[in-house]
Structure 1
Amino acid sequence: MIRLAIVEDEDLYANQLMEFVDKFRKETGEVFHIVRFRDGDEIVEGYKATYDIIFMDIQMQFMDGMKAAERIRELDSEVIIMFITNMTNYAIRGYEVDALDYIVKPIDYFSFRKKFERAIEKVEKKRRPTITIRNKSEFMRLQTNDIYYIESDRHNLIYVTKKGVYISRASMQQAEENLAKYGFFRSNKSYLVNLQYVEGVKDGCCIINGTNLLISRARKSSFMVAMTNYMSER
């Protein structure tokens, strides 16, 4: 679920934004929780970092959107702010508060959808869990969803991912402890596999991205239970 705040003093535009969000929901199946505020001071007062995206009108009676965004940024560096305005000169000032984009009034759905999709993509990217590994002399951040499996090679771990292969000097036990909660399972002493990419099980192996990875006899039963549980949760 994506949590939205609409800060807009004009009912016409607030209702239009909610209609556009609902239309987007019907087209994509995305789930939203929406809270509407009528002025900048309403959202700032007692603000808690619970929103993913804020649609912020610029011109409002008591506290304008730019001032409200400045106050919000002091408390929340992660929320995505998108300004609603009929004055494009405010767009430049939006960068001062790290606004993602701005929507110009009158609002049309095609433009709204493109900008909204970009905001949602950014939200989902932030939500994806990551791990940090040392690859050669560099520290790298890998999204767990991008990892197919990890292979142990002596004192090194080989991370086989969508974006390439990376080698890190680390223990398999530590990797297993870090990744078990994200749907990874140890198929034998050498492989830690991402269950979401298991295409099938055949001849004592699980198949991931066209590669056969051995399942040890001792772990076969627990591996199948883990697979069943994983699939049922999805």
Structure 2
Amino acid sequence: MRREIEYYDYKKTQRAGERMIRVGIVEDQEEYRQQLLSYLQTFQEKEGVVFQVETFHDGYDFVERYDSEFDLLLMDIHLPLIDGMSAIEEIRKRDSDVFVIFITSTAQYAVKGYDVNAIGYILKPFNYYSLSEYLKKTIKRLKMKEDSFLRIKAGQNYYRVNQDAIQYVESQGHKLIFKLTDQELESIGVMRELEQQLQPDRFLRIHRGFIVNLRHITGINHSTVIVGEAELPISRGKRKLIMDTLAKQWHV
């Protein structure tokens, strides 16, 4: 499988307040691939955003290599090996939040596209205006996202997880166990590095082996907190900090 990587990464000229938007283009036709790259660059210069772009030539290669690193996917439907619709259905199992714009020569897949929460469709042949309108819509939605996401590698798969969904994290040596509201993920890492990635106003390390999401604490006593169905230990030196923090959140 061949993968072509193109980066428009203007960190050196990035102005304060600009957000880097990670875009994946999945298109097997060189003509349309280059057209999309050109339009993205034009949009970038006009609208004051910064794109980082990676291109793929087929659906199979894209799905195999996908690791939840994109904000937006520009996805052709008629692709070799795996069609674009099937590729997105597979991606949705791992990443429910990435925005998708389908690019196709026919609108017959429109209804099915809404099943995978696509922003919309661009019909070939397309022009700059048709793409730019969807880009503006996408950027508006990205700005509206107040919740941050954590990228977790569990086994051979990558997951993009809303931090609100994390109840607590347990450390066992160099293993991190993420207890989510609907599943459990096991990854490799250390608490010190994880703490830097989590939102400090939501998470607190209550013990050398546990970080908890304050919003999921439902009870506390002298030596433990209740998070979901678990009762987790509190370090002696952390109890006052936890009590003071919860008192503010619970308006006690």
Amino acid of the residue matched to residue 33 of structure 2?
A: A
Q: 1:93 aligns with which of 112, 115, 131?
A: 112
Matches for 1:54-133 after TM superposition, within 5 Å: 54-127=73-146
After superposition, the C-alpha distances for 1:171-197 in whole angstroms (9 at most, x for unaligned) are: xx749x88xxxxxxxxxxxxxxxxxxx
1:49, 1:37 → 2: CA distance? 15
- CA shift at 1:119, angstroms? 0.9
2:94, 2:117 → 1: CA distance? 13
1:9, 1:77 → 2: CA distance? 24
1:66, 1:2 → 2: CA distance? 23
- CA shift at 1:111, angstroms? 1.4
**Tell me, which stretches of 5 or more residues in structure 1 are unaligned?**
133-172, 179-234
Instruction: State the 4+ residue runs in structure 1 displaced beyond 4 angstroms.
Output: none
Q: Residue in 2 aligned with 1:7? A: 26
TM-score normalized with structure 2 length: 0.51
1:3, 1:32 → 2: CA distance? 6
* Structure with the greater alpha carbon radius of gyration: 1
**Tell me, which stretches of 5 or more residues in structure 2 are unaligned?**
1-19, 149-163, 165-243
After superposition, the C-alpha distances for 1:46-92 in whole angstroms (9 at most, x for unaligned) are: 32111000000000111100010001001100000110001111111
Q: 1:17 aligns with which of 5, 13, 36?
A: 36
- CA shift at 1:43, angstroms? 1.2
1:48, 1:26 → 2: CA distance? 28
Q: Residue in 1 aligned with 2:55? A: 36
Assess, with a 3 A threshold, how the Cα gap between structure 1 residues 52 and 127 changes in structure 2: closer, same or farther: farther
- CA shift at 1:127, angstroms? 4.5
- CA shift at 1:5, angstroms? 0.0
RMSD between superposed Cα atoms in Å: 2.7
After superposition, the C-alpha distances for 1:116-175 in whole angstroms (9 at most, x for unaligned) are: 11011112222566xx9xxxxxxxxxxxxxxxxxxxxxxxxxxxxxxxxxxxxxxxx749
1:13, 1:127 → 2: CA distance? 33
More helix by share: 1
Give the paired residue count. Answer: 140
SS of 2:96's equivalent?
Answer: coil
TM-score normalized with structure 1 length: 0.55
1:127, 1:44 → 2: CA distance? 28
1:127, 1:4 → 2: CA distance? 20
Q: 2:67 aligns with which of 48, 52, 64?
A: 48
2:47, 2:124 → 1: CA distance? 24
Amino acid of the residue matched to residue 38 of structure 1?
A: H
1:58, 1:66 → 2: CA distance? 6
